[in-house]
Copies of this chain bind each other. A is one copy, B any other.
């Protein structure tokens, strides 16, 4: 095994062993390099790898620190995975998100505090106000959409679950979905699904919440699969 990989594992092990705790400052580069018996440049490459994993964080002129190591932070690096596969794999990511978000929304139905339900209602109203304007600001809609889902899933009682969901649809994909909604009716339908989830949460009904959440993500999935000419409100009658 190379010197750098050894250094990475050594530092990781120091964290697992509790020798380095979250928020703690590491020795200065020169000192730590000497301690590990490697050159400063080599240590820096090891540190750079751990930065990419969100395990370490550096501040120029100050020092290198261990991050909070929270699951949400460590899993955050996944979001770029979804972005790289924006073309082919978007459907698969959304499928996972559908499974998890349905469950998380059900869990949140009996856990989210009343005051956060009020905030949720506020987000909904703001989104509906935005959608009613002649020139729709898709950027703001994306942000509100993200806040809406994040607020719900953050109250599922499982930080790992919330973090995985948050990263299952990368920012690029999410933005693309909303940008693709040139049809005002598609925007309205999406907001309607949001409201349905919101009402289920208000009713503290996990089953309703689960179904509406699944339906919402499924709608997004299907709007992606049927690349063009989605059915929507003007669907032809199905053969019976």
Interfacial residues, chain A to chain B (CB-CB below 8 A): 4, 12, 15-16, 41, 44-46, 48-53, 55, 69, 71, 74-75, 77-78, 80-81, 83-86, 89, 92-93, 95-96, 99-100, 103, 158-161, 164
A77:B80 contact, CB within 8 angstroms: no
Shortest 4 CB-CB contacts between residues of A and residues of B: A49-B52, A92-B160, A52-B52, A74-B81
Q: A12-B84, A95-B160 are in contact. List 10 more A-B contacts (CB 8 A).
A: A44-B45, A48-B49, A49-B49, A71-B81, A71-B89, A77-B77, A92-B161, A99-B99, A99-B161, A164-B164
A92 with B71: in contact, given A53-B52, A84-B15 (CB under 8 Å)? yes
B96:A100 contact, CB within 8 angstroms: yes
Q: How far is the CB of A91 from chain B (nearest CB, A)?
A: 9
A74:B69 contact, CB within 8 angstroms: no
Q: How far is the CB of A151 from chain B (nearest CB, A)?
A: 19
B residues near A81, Cβ cutoff 8 Å: 71, 74-75
A92:B49 contact, CB within 8 angstroms: no
A95 with B161: in contact, given A71-B81, A78-B78, A83-B16 (CB under 8 Å)? yes
A160:B89 contact, CB within 8 angstroms: yes
B residues near A71, Cβ cutoff 8 Å: 81, 85, 89, 92
Identity of the chain B residue whose Cβ is nearest the Cβ of A90 in the assembled complex: B160
Q: How far is the CA of A16 from the CA of B16 in the complex (A)?
A: 34
Q: How far is the CB of A153 from chain B (nearest CB, A)?
A: 12
Choose among B16, B48, B158 the residue that contacts A45 (Cβ–Cβ < 8 A). Answer: B48
Can you report 23 residue pairs joining A to B where beta carbons are below 8 Å apart? A12-B80, A12-B84, A44-B45, A45-B45, A48-B48, A49-B49, A52-B52, A52-B53, A55-B84, A69-B84, A71-B81, A71-B85, A71-B89, A78-B78, A89-B159, A92-B159, A92-B160, A93-B160, A95-B158, A96-B100, A99-B100, A99-B161, A100-B100
